[in-house]
Amino acid sequence: MWDDNAYANSFIHGDYLTTALSKGGWTYDWWSSQLQGDYRTADLKKYKAVFIQVAQDGPQGGNYPAFTPSQRETLKVYHNAGARFAVTGNDLGWDTWKNQPTGTDLRDDTIFCRNYLHFSYVGDHIVENSALTIYGVASDPISGDYTGGVSHTSWRAGACGDSIRNSHYLPGYTGAAGLGSPVWDFPGATLDTCGTKWQSTDNMGTLGNGVWGGYKTRTIMNAFEITQLEASNANSAARVDILNNMFIWLIGHDHPYDTIQTPVAGNTYNTSPISISWRSYADVGNGAYIDTTWVEYSPDDGMSWITLTSGHTVSSPYSWNLSSVENGIKYQVRVRIKDGGVYPAMSGFDTVGTFTINRGTAGDLTGPIILPGTVRLSRNPVGTQSGNGFRVWATASDSTTGLSPIYAAKCSVRVGTSSYVYNMVAADGAFNQVVEEVYGDVPTAGWANGTYKVYVRTADNSAAKALRWGVWDSTLVTATGTINTPGLAVSMAYMSALVSGNSVVLSWRTESETNSFQWLVERAAGEAGPYAQIGSLPAAGTSTGPRDYSFTDGSVPGPGNYWYRLVEVDLGGQRTVHGPVMVLASDFRPLAFALAPAAPNPFSRQAVIRYQLPHKSSASLKVYNIMGQLVKTLADGVQDPGYYAVNWDGRNDRGRKLAAGIYVCKFSAEAVDGSQRFSKVRSLTLIK
Whole-number Å distance between alpha carbons of 336 and 258? 8
User: Which of 611, 616, 665, 652 has the alpha carbon at shortest distance from 637?
Assistant: 616
Is pLDDT above 50 for 5?
no
Whole-number Å distance between alpha carbons of 496 and 617? 29
User: Which of 467, 490, 350, 449 has the alpha carbon at shortest distance from 407?
Assistant: 467
Report pLDDT for 488: 40
Whole-number Å distance between alpha carbons of 443 and 422? 10
Report pLDDT for 414: 93
For CA atoms 139, 144, 148, 152, give the dihedral sign.
negative
Question: Is residue 366 reached through a cis peptide bond, with omega within 30 degrees of 0 on the bond before it?
Answer: no
Question: Is residue 299 reached through a cis peptide bond, with omega within 30 degrees of 0 on the bond before it?
Answer: no
End-to-end CA distance of the chain: 16
Q: Specify the range with the lowest mean pLDDT, choosing from 115-124, 330-339, 565-574.
A: 565-574
| CATH topology agreement for domains 2-251 and 257-358 | no
Whole-number Å distance between alpha carbons of 678 and 361? 48
- Residue 412's alpha-carbon distances to 4, 393, 420, 422, in angstroms, are 66, 13, 5, 6
Mean pLDDT of 233-240: 91
Is pLDDT above 80 for 370?
yes
Would you tell me which CATH number, out of the four given (3.60.15.10, 3.40.190.10, 3.40.50.720, 3.40.50.880), belongs to the domain 2-251? Answer: 3.40.50.880
Whole-number Å distance between alpha carbons of 35 and 581? 47
User: Which of 93, 53, 57 has the alpha carbon at shortest distance from 227?
Assistant: 53
Report pLDDT for 8: 40
Kindly compute the dihedral angle of the four CA atoms of residues 630, 631, 635, 638, in this order, to the nearest 10 degrees. 30
CATH of domain 257-358: 2.60.40.10
Q: 254-295 pLDDT, tens per residue?
A: 999 999 999 999 999 999 999 999 999 999 999 999 999 999
* pLDDT class of 555 with cuts at 50, 70, 90: confident
Q: Where are the domains of the chain?
A: 2-251, 257-358, 491-587, 594-686
CATH architecture, domain defined by 491-587? Sandwich (2.60)
Q: 460-503 pLDDT, tens per residue?
A: 876 655 558 888 999 999 999 888 776 543 455 667 777 776 78
- pTM score > 0.95 for this model? no
Is pLDDT above 80 for 191?
no
CATH class for the domain made up of 594-686: mainly beta
